[in-house]
Structures are given as C-alpha cells and as structure tokens.
Amino acid sequence: MRHERNGSTLKPIALACVVALSACVQTLSVDEETLPPADWEWREYLGDAGRTHYAPLDQINAGNVDQLEVAWTYDTGPLDGALTQIQCNPIVVNGVLYATTSRAHVFALDALTGNPLWRFDPTEHGSASQAHNRGVLYWDGPSGGRIIAASGHDLWALDAQTGKPVASFGQGGRADLRKGLAHGTKAADVSSPTPGVIYRDVIILGSKVGESAGASPGDIRAFDLLTGEIRWTFHTIPRDGEYGNATWPSEAWKTHGGANSWAGVTLDRERGLVFLPTGSATPDFWGGERPGDNLYANSLIALNAETGERVWHFQFVHHDLWDRDLPAPPTLVSFEKDGRQIDAITQTTKSGHLFVFDRETGEPIFPIEERPVHGSHFPEESVAKTQPFPTAPPPFTRQNFDLSHIDREIRSEAFVAEQTKRLTGMRMGEPFIPPSLEGSLMYPGFDGGAEWGGAAWDPSTGLLYVNANEVGAVLPLMRRPENVNPRSLYLEKCGMCHGPELAGTGVGPSLVGVIERRTDLEVLTTIALGSGRMPGFIDLPLPIMERLAAYVTDPQDERKALAELEGRPGSDSAYVSAGYIYLRDEEDVPINAPPFGTLTAIDVAAGELRWQVPLGDYPQLLAKGILGAGAENYGGPVVTSGGLIFLAATPDAKLRAFDKRTGDIVWEDTLPAAGFATPATYSVGGRQFVVVAAGGGKLGQPSGSLYVAYALPVAAAVE
C-alpha cells in the first residue's frame, strides 16, 4: 500500500482523546441537537462542508411524499439552439436561493416563491462563457454577504444583496485562476466549474484543466476573500525538493499538466483539514513521457487549511492510463466500530470502489492491498506493477467485461453475434489492462462507476448512498502520425473526443458537416476559446489554428489536410488516443447486461453493501416496454431525516424519492427535462422544499432551462 503521512502535523494523543470523548457525548444527545429549526438552510454546495448531502428535515416523509406538488419554477432563459446542461446544486442562505444557468450566469431567487431578485452575466464583464458549472459559495464577509462564483478563468466576488461585483476583490471583482501556475498561464484551459470551500477568510479550490499534452498544472490554491490574492499554493506536480518530486521525470513541473482537483473540495472545519481529490496527469491514456507513479495525481490529499501543508495523502491509481480521476468530493462520516467512535472520510471511485480512511491520520479503516496488474504493451510505457484494492466494502459495480457479459436477456442472437465479432481480438477480462493498439476493455467505463454527483451520508442509519453507472468502454491507442500536418494535429488535440474520423464519441459530438451548422469564424473561435468541457487552444499560433479549422470544416480536402505545418505544436508522444469508445448499441444503450445504473446503500462501519436497486430507465427501452433495467446517471442523491432519498440524474427525466432503508421507490414525478444535477432541500416559511435543475443535454436528451421546486400543499405542510 502506498500511503504517506506527514508525522510533523500529528495532533497530540490527549487532544485526540478529547475529540473522541466529545463525539461520544454528541452521539448521546443527537436526537435533541439535530432537531431542525423552523427554517433550515442548504447553505453550502452538497449541503455542508462535509459534502454529506444530508438534511435534518422530515416535514416531507414516507407518509406524505405522494402529496408533493410543484411549488414554483424558474426559467433560466432561452437555449439559443445549443445543447446545454445545468449541473448546479443550488444553495439557500437567509431565505435566498443562489444558483447558476447553463452559461454560468449567477442568479438569486426568493427561496419561498421562486421570484427573481438579481442576475449576473460574467460575459458582460469580460469573462469567457462557461458550461457545466455546479454551483456557488456564500461568505459572510465583514462588510456583508458575498457570493463567490467562477466563469472561464475568472473567480468572481459578488455582493449577495445586489449581484454586483465587489470592486475590492482582485481586479474589479475578479481574480485570475491562471495566476501563479508554472506554465500554461496564457492557456484558456484553466477554470473551476465545481465550487471550492470557504475556510475563515480564504476560498480553497482546485481547477479544471485540459487533458492532452501541454495542459496546465492542477495546483491547489487558497485565495484571500478580501483581496483576491493567493494566500497559499499546493503543487500537485511537486517541484524540486518537494515530497513526491521523484515520482516524476526531472523538472516535470515545468512542462507537465493535470493532477488537478476538478471534482470539488471537502472541509473538516473543526480540525482545520481540507481534503481534495485529484485527477490524472496529462495526457490521458499515454504516459510514456511521464514515467513514475506521478504524485499527486489520482490522490486524496489532506492539507492544513490554514497553511496548505500536506498532512497525508493516498494515491488510488499509480501512473494513471485509464482517466481514473477521482470523480466526486469525499464525504465526512462518523460511526462506531469495534467499540470506538471513528471520524472518517470516504472516497468513491470510477472503478466502483469505496475507500474509507481515518480523517486525521489517513490510515485505512479496512485493509488496502497492492495487487499485481497487467504489464505494459509498449517498451516506451512504464505501467505500474501494482494497484491498490480495498478489501471492504465490496465494489458497488461489476469489475470486468468479457464476451460472456454481452446482454443476452433483451438482445437478439444476431446482436450478440455482431458484438462478439466487434470485440474479438480486444484485450479484456480484468481491471487495469493498459490501453493498446487492439483496444483494451475497461469496466466500468470512462465515467464510472461513481461520478461527479457524489454520495449521501445518513447519520441515523450509518448508510452511504451511491449512484453509479455500469457501462463498458474501449481504450484504443494509435501511433502518432510521423508527418506534422492539420490531420495529425487534429488527431492529437481533438480526435480523443470527436473520434479519428470526426464522427463523434460518447464525449464529443460529430464534426461531420459542421460547416453546415457553424460559420468558419465560429469554428475558429471555438477552437481558440473552447466550449463546454472542450478546452481552448488559444496558445496555438493563429495560422496553425486556421489550418486546423480548415481541416475540421473540410476533412476530405487531402491537399490541405496533409500539407506540412511549420514546427510541431502538438506533443512528441509516440502514441495518441484513438478516441473515447463506449460499448453502446446504435440506440445508445449499453451492450452489457443490465443494470446499466444503480443506487447502492453501503454500511460503512460494517464494510458491507446493504441493498442495491436499478436506477432509472432509458426512454428508448421504455418505448419497447422494457423497464427496470437502470440507466446511466449524472447528479447525486439527497437524504433526509424524513426517511427519504431524493434523486434525479436519469435520462427518463424523473425525480424520485426512495425509502432510504429499503431502496423502494415511494414517489416520482416527470421533470420538464432530465435532471442531471444534485437536488437541494431546505425549509423556509414553515415549508420544506426540494429543488432540482432540469437542464437535460446529456445521454441524447434535449436541453432544458428550468429549476423546479416541490413542496407539500400548504394545508399538508402545517399539519
């Protein structure tokens, strides 16, 4: 097991005993102390700084949830024909709901009525437009409430009452998220779509960066909330003399990128510990130019929130070649085990595992084994010899895919034969098979397993609720073209998402015939500035960007496609990805046996799965009369003391309430568009509300623009 702890920051044993005793006292009085006030706020992203997704509210419960009705809706605005999403988890403070639109515009609503109060468009103030924004933060500053929100590479501080920028923060209300990075500071690939966390007078956050060679580094930073200046920085690609530097090539920090914390941040305020999960080093799928384990990529890092100093870390994937980013912020949990109270932290993974650690020391609660894995297919690649596997709890998804796993229940014999032929010759059958020229099967696929919605912790049952995907994927590599031309540049920069033939993948749309949908200038602008999850390539010289745009709009013109470029603006990697390939059929249904998506309850103290149910349905299967197969899902659950789990996340556009002890569905309603976001629940004016963004835009579903809030009828709410 590769686990390290900074012994210099250990707290005295006496203090640990006091903390444990305090936890026991709190447990004895939990019923009294967790009674909700008349108004209860969803004050932070995912409910609280511990990212528990939990609310001590029971006005809505299993006995009356069937009476829920739409209380109000808010339309975020026209969709202008673009395929957009709203992934935001709103917050509610002082009776005001704060959230974002599909373009990262920030708005405030009366949380009781849904009436708009103000709206801020960062693009009108010079920020780049940002899609996939997941929320905002609230800070009680010395001169009034502040909303902290990001758009493009800008971090904004807004007056919570008016939505106007706070002029004293940064430059006219914004701080530049590119500031202080070792390289890539002119790149457009630095943003922060997931809120960080506020500790005292700083905001601590990670960033989203590109996934190809040349991406920016994923430094973790604390920004002063008064001035916008950087208070401290933790280098996730260690510099000379820093711990972990030897796990990279010499001076890798000057040129390599990634190892970024895009999924969110978790904070233990009482202990002053902040926990950040990180993603892979770049480029994804090929590591020939970055030999070594590559700390702190694919790690959970515990830092001193005051200073940014490392307290402990654990790396989940050594030398990642599978895009196994940690997909969600970890969750703070407390439970009794073997006669002692444990304050722990749990981390879900794309591979469908749950890891559980002591919050202060980083010691695993259940043993973790380093097991041998498949070796390299290429002499240039340095695949890690072992990878860590938790011995408990059991995985919450299946762990591998081979030909026998092709769905035979609802498929024809001809379909099974076709898929068998398609997959024959690919490498398959075990976890951590490295990418290959033949294609290597990975299960679960690129998006997990667990995804960015996160897990919900219920202190009354001791159960952690995790929704997950069960879809296979293929990892193919291709040799980098020898010549330097627009086609080879496309394969290096764009082919992974849009496919080597521009036909699209499960991540990027088809670019075939794009000139019929976009002008030459629009294509060039998108290449330069990016769009959605696509990074910008503003650092490419303009003549080269123009040549790349010309190829994308007319790939059949061999003369232009193969004409030599001056210099190599791409990487020097021997191999590049041949694209994201999901194992789905022509109707975008996974080819493996169902369930395709699940909701699982995990008894954390016992290290056991308590129950698991299929989650959601594909509309295309429902049209054939097939239901209960589960579906891919994006967005997390919310659990309440009323005995319920609220969860949207599925392509059938349902918001569901589950019995948290059994997993049975006790209520559901159809949203105006699929709710690929985590709901929020709060109480204001004596009524409990459940609100979710119905933004659609994934898994073939149309985009939507509404936030929908549910509550009991007024008469039922006061009973």
pLDDT digits (tens, 9 = 90+) for 565-581: 765 555 667 888 888 88
Instruction: Round to whole Å and give the CA distance between 719 and 710.
Output: 17
Instruction: Round to whole Å and give the CA distance between 622 and 150.
Output: 38
Contact 583, 415 (CB under 8 A): no
Instruction: Round to whole Å and give the CA distance between 504 and 81.
Output: 19
- Can you read off the two tokens belonging to residue 297? 């990529």
Q: Which fold has domain 481-570?
A: Cytochrome Bc1 Complex; Chain D, domain 2 (1.10.760)
With cut-offs at 50, 70 and 90, classify the pLDDT of residue 546.
confident
331-344: average pLDDT: 96
Q: In this predicted structure, what is the pLDDT of residue 33?
A: 40
With H, G, I as helix, E, B as strand and everything else as coil, classify residue 548.
Answer: helix
First to last CA, the chain: 55
The region of weakest confidence among 273-282, 290-299, 507-516, 587-596 is 507-516
Which tens digit of pLDDT belongs to each residue from 638-677? 999 999 999 999 999 999 999 999 999 999 999 999 999 9
**Distance from the Cα of residue 33 to its chain's centroid:** 33
Q: Is 572 exposed, middle or buried (0-12, 13-18, 19+ CB in 10 A)?
A: exposed
Does the N-terminal peptide bond of residue 238 adopt cis geometry, omega within 30 degrees of 0? no
Q: What ranges do the domains of the chain cover?
A: 90-133+135-176, 481-570
Q: Which fold has domain 90-133+135-176?
A: Lipocalin (2.40.128)
Which tens digit of pLDDT belongs to each residue from 682-715? 999 999 999 999 999 999 999 999 999 999 999 7
DSSP-derived secondary structure letter, 448: B
103-127: average pLDDT: 96
CA-based radius of gyration for the chain: 24
Q: Tell whether the model's pLDDT for residue 23 goes beyond 90.
A: no
31-41: average pLDDT: 58
Nearest to 290 by CA among 326, 245, 243, 256: 256
SS (H, E, C) 130-162: CCCCCCCEEEEECCEEEEEEEECCEEEEEECCC
With cut-offs at 50, 70 and 90, classify the pLDDT of residue 22.
very low
Contact 185, 204 (CB under 8 A): no
Angle at 175 between CA 170 and CA 180, to 5 degrees: 115
With cut-offs at 50, 70 and 90, classify the pLDDT of residue 478.
confident
Q: In this predicted structure, what is the pLDDT of residue 498?
A: 85
Q: In this predicted structure, what is the pLDDT of residue 374?
A: 95
Q: In this predicted structure, what is the pLDDT of residue 75?
A: 98
Q: Tell whether the model's pLDDT for residue 419 goes beyond 70.
A: yes
